[in-house]
């Protein structure tokens, strides 16, 4: 019996473009209280196609959309349903994916792998979370053996408790440090917003409520003008006299993201933008009780695989689920809390963290920052993941070689 020749070919995977909705506060008073989750995804997909008219919709090989709580308007294989709702041809397939907070990141790495292996040419990858309609953990039924057999510490099922555990693991990361980091995130976000950098990543979304129609054009969660004194007064809901507060952690949010990925050859063929090249990715598991340390082993694994060192990374986009989680990463690598390479435009503490959508927000911002910084060759997007994981993707700036050549 003859074996058919392989049709695969390894090639560069590029991030073409990314977009997101403004992020809202979860709950009955949030901007998206009466907006469906799938409609948020549809808005992002349609905006991507509007901004990239050189991409024929029929050339899209897959639509991968993540959601942590896959029920209701976030269920029914949301990658496929959102593709249909967005008006893509029936020939374009889609699927749903779940890796909790790293859902969109996994949508990118999974479909990116397909591109690198030669089985896709162009894909749309992203994520959505409507935490107002679907609170984290809604309807789940954890196996009782997790607790009765002590497979995990009970605190592992409450993310705020895991952040307090991480404080215990790193006593040098005090509440004063996390509050100072949180204030800096708010300030950096506000500066980036005033400079027009945030608006460039957003698509306005029409909203409807009892008060009538509205238009969401900016993130709802930021608290400009926040001071350390303000944060010092907040309650510590996860532990008496604890260190984690609503001020030094991301809130509960609604929002969606989407990105176009392609083979670099296909991008050239179609005349698509090349925002950055994927160098590699890695996911790693850790003790679920200290899930916030997950980015460290994921990054260590990836640096070892790529032969790069942390000093090669010129820009970091680290998801700010909790300030302590970011600081634990920085402390591990000997990076200062206020290093200018880290989260230049602020992070989730300011703009919000709609769980499965956030990975593409990090990538979209890094891609825009690469365009401003031709002197930087490599950037990194990383995040901690519920149930004890971390994920990291390293990207290369495509204009760095041109810049280097011009300098030479």
In which region does residue 307 sit, left (phi positive, over 0), alpha (psi from -120 to 50) or beta (all else)? Answer: left
Token couple for 388: 């004890």
If one counts every other C-beta atom within 10 angstroms of the C-beta of residue 49, the result is 18
Asked if residue 237 lies in contact with residue 243, where contact means CB atoms within 8 angstroms, the answer is: no
Q: Map tokens 């497979």 to a residue.
A: 151
β-strand 122-130 against 62-66: which pairing, if any? parallel
β-strand 62-66 against 94-97: which pairing, if any? parallel
Q: Map tokens 């979304």 to a residue.
A: 205
Token couple for 321: 């689920």
How many angstroms separate the CA atoms of 253 and 134, rounded? 10
Residues of the chain with pLDDT under 70: 1-9, 401-408
Q: What is the pLDDT of residue 406?
A: 53
Which of 351, 350, 276 lies closest to 21 in space, CA to CA?
A: 351
Q: What is the pLDDT of residue 148?
A: 87
Q: Map tokens 């609604």 to a residue.
A: 254
Known catalytic residues are 101, 353, 384
The predicted model scores a pTM of 0.95
Which of 13, 12, 89 lies closest to 45 in space, CA to CA?
A: 89
Strands (E), 243-388: 253-263, 276-285, 313-318, 378-385
Asked if residue 253 lies in contact with residue 353, where contact means CB atoms within 8 angstroms, the answer is: yes
Asked if residue 15 lies in contact with residue 258, where contact means CB atoms within 8 angstroms, the answer is: no
Q: What is the pLDDT of residue 248?
A: 98
Q: Is 337 exposed, middle or buried (0-12, 13-18, 19+ CB in 10 A)?
A: middle
Cα first-last separation, the chain: 56
**Ordered alpha helix ranges (H), 195-347:** 228-232, 264-270, 295-306, 323-332
- The enclosing H or E element of 14 equals strand 13-20
Q: What is the pLDDT of residue 408?
A: 39
Token couple for 135: 């609170």
Token couple for 182: 């949180």
DSSP 8-class letter at 239 = S
Q: Is 60 exposed, middle or buried (0-12, 13-18, 19+ CB in 10 A)?
A: buried
Q: Contacts from 227-233 at CB under 8 Å and sequence distance 24+?
A: 227/183, 228/176, 228/179, 228/180, 228/183, 231/179, 231/182, 231/183, 232/179
Asked if residue 185 lies in contact with residue 346, where contact means CB atoms within 8 angstroms, the answer is: yes
């Amino acid at each position: 019996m003859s074996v058919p020749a392989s049709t695969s070919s390894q090639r560069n995977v590029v991030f073409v473009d990314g977009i997101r909705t403004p992020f809202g506060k979860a709950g009955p008073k949030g901007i998206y209280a009466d907006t469906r989750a799938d409609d948020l995804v549809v808005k992002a997909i349609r905006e991507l196609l509007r901004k990239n008219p050189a991409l024929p919709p029929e050339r899209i090989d897959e639509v991968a959309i993540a959601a942590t709580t896959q029920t209701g308007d976030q269920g029914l294989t949301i990658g496929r349903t959102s593709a249909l709702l967005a008006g893509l041809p029936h020939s374009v397939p889609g699927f749903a994916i779940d890796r909790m907070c790293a859902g969109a990141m996994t949508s990118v790495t999974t479909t990116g792998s397909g591109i690198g292996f030669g089985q896709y040419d162009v894909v749309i990858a992203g994520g959505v979370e409507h935490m107002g309609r679907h609170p984290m953990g809604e309807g789940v039924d954890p196996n009782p053996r997790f607790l009765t057999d002590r497979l995990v510490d009970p605190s592992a099922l409450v993310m705020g408790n895991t952040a307090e555990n991480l404080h215990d693991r790193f006593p040098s990361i005090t509440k004063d440090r996390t509050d100072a980091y949180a204030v800096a995130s708010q300030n950096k976000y506000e500066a980036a917003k005033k400079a027009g950098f945030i608006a460039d990543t957003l698509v306005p979304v029409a909203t409807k409520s009892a008060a009538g129609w509205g238009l969401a054009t900016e993130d709802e969660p930021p608290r400009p003008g926040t001071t350390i004194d303000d944060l010092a007064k907040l309650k510590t809901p996860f532990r008496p006299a604890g260190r984690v507060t609503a001020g030094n952690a991301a809130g509960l949010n609604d929002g969606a993201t989407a990105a176009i990925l392609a083979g670099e050859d296909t991008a050239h063929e179609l005349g698509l933008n090349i925002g950055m090249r994927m160098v590699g990715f890695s996911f790693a598991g850790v003790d679920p009780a200290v899930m916030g340390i997950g980015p460290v082993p994921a990054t260590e694994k990836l640096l070892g695989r790529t032969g790069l060192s942390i000093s090669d990374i010129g820009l970091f986009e680290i998801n700010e689920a909790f300030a302590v989680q970011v600081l634990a990463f920085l402390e591990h690598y000997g990076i200062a809390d206020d290093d200018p390479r880290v989260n230049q435009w602020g992070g989730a503490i300011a703009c919000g963290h709609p769980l499965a959508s956030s990975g593409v927000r990090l990538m979209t911002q890094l891609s825009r920052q690469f365009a401003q910084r031709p002197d930087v060759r490599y950037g990194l997007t990383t995040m901690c993941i519920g149930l004890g994981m971390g994920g990291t993707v390293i990207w290369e700036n495509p204009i760095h070689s041109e810049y280097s050549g011009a300098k030479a």
